[in-house]
Amino acid sequence: MLQKTEKYLYRKPESLTDNITIYCSGCGHGIIHRIIAEVIDELSVREKTIGIAPVGCAVLAYDYFNFDVTEAAHGRPPAVATGIKRCLPDRIVFTYQGDGDLAAIGTAEIIHAAARGENITVIFVNNGVYGMTKGQMAPTTLLGQRTTTTVKGREPYQHGFPIRVCELLATIEGAYYIERTKIDSIPDIIKTKRAIKKAFTYQIEKRGFSLIEVLSTCPTNWKKTPAESMEWVRTEMASFFPPGVYKDKGVAV
Amino acid sequence: MVQKRIKSVILSGCEASAEGAIRAGCKFYAGYPITPQNRFPEYMSVRMPEEGGVFIQAESEVSAINMVFGASAAGVRAMTSSSSPGISLKQEGISYLAGCELPAVIINMNRGGPGLGDVTPSQSDYFQSTRGGGHGDYRTITLAPWNVQETYDLTYLAFILADRYRNPVLVLADGMIAQMMEPVKLFPWKKQIPKKRWALTGCKGRRPNSIKSLFLTPGVLETHNWKIARKYQKIIENEQLYHTYMCNDIDLLLVSFGTCARICFEAITLARAQGIKAGLFRPVTLWPYPSEHLKRIAEKVKKILVVEMNCGQMVEDVKLAVRNDVHIFFYGRPGGGVPAPEEILKEIKRI
Ligand SMILES: Cc1ncc(C[n+]2csc(CCOP(=O)(O)OP(=O)(O)O)c2C)c(N)n1
């Protein structure tokens, strides 16, 4: 118990369970889970939040988040979120999706959820590979990047160009707030938290569709150390996927 | 009885099913246009908002079924409708619904296939409907109406069964029933919606709920599969529906479902007028198949004629149900062909 004069500066958010995650060391999912949990605690919405876990490394998110969570078929979290949110408009609904989930198999779902201006929050974790299936090319794999299905590096006219999701979704009228952040440094983690908090706040204020893309790491499949992975996010990924606000209808221009 | 005082209204099968759903307390519909069920989303786009429900024209059938998944996870009676190619696209979602034990109602106004096929009535999705349809060891209850009134009635029943067993339920009709207009009595159903403690509504005052079909710990999925298998056994024991016509004194038994059974009904009337003792067995639940009932009635005959608007998919279930020494004949029209009563009569006389 705390004494009257003491106060907590740091502890596990109530929105996280005590379960140990399956994530590899240096993986960004854990950091991003924690940010979401802190934001939900700070906004006092844990008891009315419903999360949608993807098919991907974060598939077990319902074991880690201490609030209601459902699974969804690969790529379909925005459709599942639409069904939940339309039925329970005063609950806080968010999807948590990888790049394969959101930008390959689920491209139609994310575009149309944005087009309908669904009042949901999307956390888009871009780690440039298919983590769960052990490192194949993702729609966000950089040109030249080696993966298990691009062993000599990604070739644009054989494997296609990487897709910039924020830039694409910013063109959609129904999207309210689109921002890209990264997690390779403490200031960037703080920025990411600020963006995620804003996205949830917008949802609480019923403003509409928000997506935060977070440039994240996958040391295991990138065949890099955690430190090298952070460096890769900082340099290679951030130069092709520039962090920044791509759309914010809440800010008067 | 109260029912006698209810006036009939003229509705198409799509409209009757949609209205049945609304009166069953369905509050969420997502769909995508495809002939011959286009009237369904059109009707719902007007009626759902009137009833305080949600209508969404989804970007695809894949999306529609996953929206239904979300609505059902939130504890709401939810449905989608489509026709054959669209139902194929929904199969992954239906498998997830079954795996997660979520109730949902899916209407299939069957058209000719395979591929894009055509837009005329067909019963070619019998296997897909009764064998599970998507991946994994699961079943969907399948109800097959033969007229517009029954399409209304069975859509209501579909919601009751979906909630009772926490499983997706299909209503398998066809392009004929979808578009045909008939008088329907809109019986005022009692909206018995059970409490759904498992639903995701926010964890206020309770521990968090999760909905999932993923069980990675060795043995856990096996246990889960046995659990849903026991549920299917219970459905087989409790939910078989069928209908017979002229089966008391028979030499020949016709077995047919949906629209095709209705044409057989005419053919039997013609046959009886010529002194041929033919009767009809019509399964109303295609899964669970009313096997024991068919077996009992088939005791009286040496010959069975199965009539379907496909290449003979239900013949398997008839063979599984009846004794080995019954001769089973088949007459069918695949690819959107609809037999005339006279065609069936000719076949009755030939065999
Ligand atoms: C329909 C379907 N296709 C393929 C898969 C296999 N699969 C599982 S996870 C995954 C990719 C996940 O990658 P991503 O979305 O980038 O998330 P990450 O694992 O990197 O976090 C794939 C292809 C599946 N489960 N379902």
The domains of chain B, with CATH numbers, are 7-194+207-238 (3.40.50.970), 243-350 (3.40.50.920)
The pLDDT of residue B204 is above 50: yes
Ligand 1: residues with CB < 6 A are A 55-58, 74, 98-101, 125, 127, 129-133, 138
Among protein residues, the one with the nearest Cα to ligand 1's atom 24 is A74
Expressed in angstroms and rounded, the spacing between residue B8 Cα and the centre of ligand 1 is: 52
> Which pLDDT value is given to residue B143?
98
- State the pLDDT confidence band at B40, using cuts at 50, 70 and 90: very high
Q: Cβ(A116)–Cβ(A109) under 8 Å?
A: no
Q: Cβ(A214)–Cβ(A183) under 8 Å?
A: yes
- The CA–CA distances, whole Å, from B88 to A91, B85, B290 equal 32, 5, 25
> Which pLDDT value is given to residue B219?
97
Expressed in angstroms and rounded, the spacing between residue A38 Cα and the centre of ligand 1 is: 27
Averaged pLDDT, B102-126: 97
Among protein residues, the one with the nearest Cα to ligand 1's atom 26 is A74
Please give the ipTM for the structure prediction.
0.97
A151: three-class secondary structure by DSSP? coil
Q: Cβ(B56)–Cβ(B67) under 8 Å?
A: yes
Euclidean distance between CA atoms A72 and B100, whole angstroms: 10
- State the pLDDT confidence band at A253, using cuts at 50, 70 and 90: low
Q: To test ligand 1's pocket by mutation, which of A130, A136, A147, A213 has the most ligand atoms within 8 angstroms of CB?
A: A130
CB contact under 8 Å between B66 and A79, yes or no, is yes
Which are the contacts of A213, defined by CB distance < 8 A and separation ≥ 6? A124, A126, A165, A166, A178, A179, A180, A181, A241
> Residue A47: which of B96, B200, B204 has the nearest Cβ?
B204
Averaged pLDDT, B225-240: 98
Interchain CB contact of A118 with B (< 8 Å): no
> Which pLDDT value is given to residue B189?
79
Interchain CB contact of A48 with B (< 8 Å): yes
- Cα B132 off chain centre by: 12
Q: Cβ(A229)–Cβ(A219) under 8 Å?
A: yes
- Cα A60 off chain centre by: 15
Which residues are paired to B109 by β-bridges?
Answer: B173
Averaged pLDDT, A55-80: 98
CB contact under 8 Å between A79 and B202, yes or no, is no
Containing A96, the helix (H) or strand (E) segment is strand A92-98
Averaged pLDDT, A126-131: 98
- Cα B167 off chain centre by: 13
Euclidean distance between CA atoms B162 and B231, whole angstroms: 12
Q: What is the DSSP letter of B277?
A: -
CA angle A223, A229, A230 (to 5 degrees): 175
Please report the number of interchain residue pairs, chain A to chain B, with beta-carbon separation below 8 angstroms. Answer: 133
CATH numbers and ranges of domains, chain A: 29-248 (3.40.50.970)
The pLDDT of residue B3 is above 80: no
Euclidean distance between CA atoms B305 and B348, whole angstroms: 8
Distance from CA of A75 to the nearest CA of B (A): 10
Q: Cβ(B94)–Cβ(B106) under 8 Å?
A: yes
Euclidean distance between CA atoms A98 and A119, whole angstroms: 20
pLDDT (tens digit per residue) in B290-328: 999 999 999 999 999 999 999 999 999 999 999 999 999
CB contact under 8 Å between B63 and A112, yes or no, is yes
Euclidean distance between CA atoms B207 and B194, whole angstroms: 20
User: Global pTM?
Assistant: 0.97
Euclidean distance between CA atoms B252 and B281, whole angstroms: 11
The pLDDT of residue A113 is above 80: yes
Q: Cβ(B323)–Cβ(B108) under 8 Å?
A: no
The pLDDT of residue A252 is above 90: no
A chain contacts of residue B208, beta-carbon cutoff 8 Å: 62, 65-69
pLDDT (tens digit per residue) in A163-205: 999 999 999 999 999 999 999 999 999 999 999 999 999 999 9
A chain contacts of residue B55, beta-carbon cutoff 8 Å: none
> Residue B71: which of A68, A83, A116 has the nearest Cβ?
A83
- Cα A111 off chain centre by: 16
> Which pLDDT value is given to residue B1?
44
**Among candidates A102, A94, A96, which has minimal Cα distance to A119?**
A94
Q: Cβ(B21)–Cβ(B153) under 8 Å?
A: no
The pLDDT of residue B25 is above 70: yes
Between residues B4 and A149, the one the model is more confident about: A149
B298: tokens are: 């088939």
Which are the contacts of A214, defined by CB distance < 8 A and separation ≥ 6? A28, A32, A123, A124, A125, A126, A180, A181, A182, A183, A192
B111: three-class secondary structure by DSSP? strand
Averaged pLDDT, B2-28: 91
Which are the contacts of B189, defined by CB distance < 8 A and separation ≥ 6? B20, B23, B24, B156
CB contact under 8 Å between A80 and B200, yes or no, is no
Interface of B with A (CB under 8 A): 27-28, 30, 54, 56, 58-60, 62-64, 66-76, 78, 92-93, 96, 100, 200-205, 208-214
Interchain CB contact of A37 with B (< 8 Å): no
Euclidean distance between CA atoms B317 and B289, whole angstroms: 7
The pLDDT of residue B58 is above 90: yes
- State the pLDDT confidence band at A3, using cuts at 50, 70 and 90: confident
**Mean pLDDT over the full length of chain A:** 97
Averaged pLDDT, A240-253: 92
> Which pLDDT value is given to residue A9?
87
Averaged pLDDT, B63-86: 98
CB contact under 8 Å between B69 and A112, yes or no, is no
The pLDDT of residue B123 is above 80: yes
- In B146-239, which ranges are E strands? 168-174, 181-185, 210-211
Euclidean distance between CA atoms B18 and A253, whole angstroms: 46
- Cα A208 off chain centre by: 17
Interchain CB contact of A80 with B (< 8 Å): yes
Averaged pLDDT, B271-298: 98
Euclidean distance between CA atoms B279 and B258, whole angstroms: 16
Interchain CB contact of A101 with B (< 8 Å): no
Interchain CB contact of A159 with B (< 8 Å): no
- Cα A37 off chain centre by: 13
Q: What type of residue is B85? A: P
pLDDT (tens digit per residue) in A137-149: 999 999 999 999 9
The pLDDT of residue B168 is above 60: yes
Ligand 1: atom nearest CA of A58 is: 21
Between residues A253 and A24, the one the model is more confident about: A24
B chain contacts of residue A85, beta-carbon cutoff 8 Å: 70
Q: Cβ(A42)–Cβ(A197) under 8 Å?
A: yes
B172: three-class secondary structure by DSSP? strand
Among protein residues, the one with the nearest Cα to ligand 1's atom 20 is A131
> Which pLDDT value is given to residue A1?
63
Euclidean distance between CA atoms A185 and A231, whole angstroms: 10
